[in-house]
């Protein structure tokens, strides 16, 4: 493993065995995140993004089969550890910020108990006063006004934006090296979304954490990520530095995702509202390129053979068009 690499995922496959057959939710995914870097994993819902992150956290249901050549988190292979070690790893080295804080915050406990628990867990024997002062400090860090009073509040007494800030405080209280933020702003209105993204960016810098941002929204990606990996039907179809991918997407799916951001215009004044069709059923992925049924550039070859991964200049793409030069309008 290279120095400075926080996470390295090699050939991750997360399959579910169901009475109808094998669901290949994640099917050969590889990526890495440098220390202090934000990587966005982007794609429509049902592409396998969340299952990828739950695999890293080892939070999969019993029906799941997880295989990987390796998943190194700060040099430790998380595929080789047992459930107890995995639990210890969560919260100490890796933690998660969920989309809807109301479902991850416990409605019957005050914020002080839920946040304080993290400090008590990671610092056994810590005094009550110390827990309180660390909790106040953490809430202040994530921009919660009047933190001392807010500690006494129940989740339902806070606004959506404040709840998400509290959730972020809980996720970061253990000082994890990697934070997975799964659609952290989707449930919030646009103004609050921007504030939360700014906050995440600031915290990431201050605490030098690595962030894996899971999102369906390329608009969010452009605001926060340094690199982006685009996922479709269980595979990563394109990966590269955010600016490069944004300026010149190589994969037709990436291009369509970018064009579906409100306000983005295609050359010649045309605008694509959304991507036609739906993500294929993982029980019945099409043969060849999985994007072929929705791809405006699909050929017979695409429908028969899976495209290889082409690499160039720190970017990679899985599409036959790459050989035929860049995608044109
Ligand atoms: Fe479209 Fe073919 Fe590229 Fe798949 S391989 S994205 S079908 S052009």
Cα–Cα distance between 31 and 251 in angstroms, integer? 17
Q: What is the pLDDT of residue 325?
A: 53
The whole-number average pLDDT for the span 112-134 is 93
Q: Which is higher by pLDDT, 199 or 269?
A: 199
Q: What is the pLDDT of residue 329?
A: 44
pLDDT digits (tens, 9 = 90+) for 133-152: 999 999 999 999 999 999 99
Cα–Cα distance between 119 and 109 in angstroms, integer? 16
pLDDT digits (tens, 9 = 90+) for 190-243: 888 888 888 999 999 998 899 999 999 888 898 899 999 999 999 999 999 999
Question: Which ligand 1 atom minimizes the distance to the CA of 252?
Answer: 6
* CB distance 302 to ligand 1 below 6 Å: yes
pTM: 0.89
Buried b (16+ CB within 10 A) or exposed e, 168-181: bbbbbbbebbbbbb
* CB distance 31 to ligand 1 below 6 Å: no
* CB distance 288 to ligand 1 below 6 Å: no
* CB distance 250 to ligand 1 below 6 Å: no
* CB distance 320 to ligand 1 below 6 Å: yes
Confidence of residue 88 (pLDDT cuts 50, 70, 90): confident
Q: What is the pLDDT of residue 13?
A: 97
Q: Which of 319, 322, 325, 326 to mutate to test the pocket of ligand 1 (most atoms within 8 A of CB)?
A: 319
Cα–Cα distance between 15 and 13 in angstroms, integer? 6
């Amino acid at each position: 493993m290279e120095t400075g690499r926080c996470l390295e995922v090699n050939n991750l496959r997360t399959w579910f065995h169901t009475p109808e057959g094998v669901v290949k939710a994640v099917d050969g995914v590889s990526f890495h995140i440098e220390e202090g870097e934000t990587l966005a994993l982007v794609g429509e819902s049902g592409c396998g993004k969340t299952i990828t992150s739950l695999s890293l956290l080892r939070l999969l249901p019993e029906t799941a089969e997880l295989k990987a050549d390796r998943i190194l988190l700060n040099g430790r292979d998380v595929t080789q550890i047992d459930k107890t070690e995995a639990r210890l790893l969560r919260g100490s080295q890796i933690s998660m910020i969920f989309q809807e804080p109301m479902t991850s915050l416990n409605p019957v406990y005050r914020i002080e108990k839920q946040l304080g628990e993290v400090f008590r867990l990671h610092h056994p024997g810590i005094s009550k006063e110390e827990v309180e002062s660390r909790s106040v400090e953490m809430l202040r860090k994530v921009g919660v006004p009047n933190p001392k009073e807010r500690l006494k509040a129940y989740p339902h007494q806070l606004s959506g934006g404040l709840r998400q800030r509290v959730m972020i405080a809980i996720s970061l209280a253990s000082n994890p090296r990697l934070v997975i933020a799964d659609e952290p702003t989707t449930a919030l209105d646009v103004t609050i979304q921007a504030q939360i993204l700014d906050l995440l960016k600031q915290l990431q810098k201050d605490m030098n954490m690595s962030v894996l941002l899971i999102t369906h929204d390329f608009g969010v990606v452009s605001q926060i990520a340094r690199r982006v990996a685009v996922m479709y039907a269980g595979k990563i179809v394109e990966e590269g530095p955010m600016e490069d991918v944004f300026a010149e997407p190589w994969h037709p799916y990436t291009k369509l995702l970018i064009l579906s951001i409100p306000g983005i215009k295609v050359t010649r004044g045309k605008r694509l509202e959304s991507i036609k069709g739906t993500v294929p059923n993982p029980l019945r992925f099409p043969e060849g390129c999985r994007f072929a049924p929705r791809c405006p550039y699909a050929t017979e070859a695409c429908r028969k053979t899976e495209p290889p991964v082409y690499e160039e200049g720190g970017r990679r793409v899985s599409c036959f068009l790459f050989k035929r030069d860049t995608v044109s309008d």
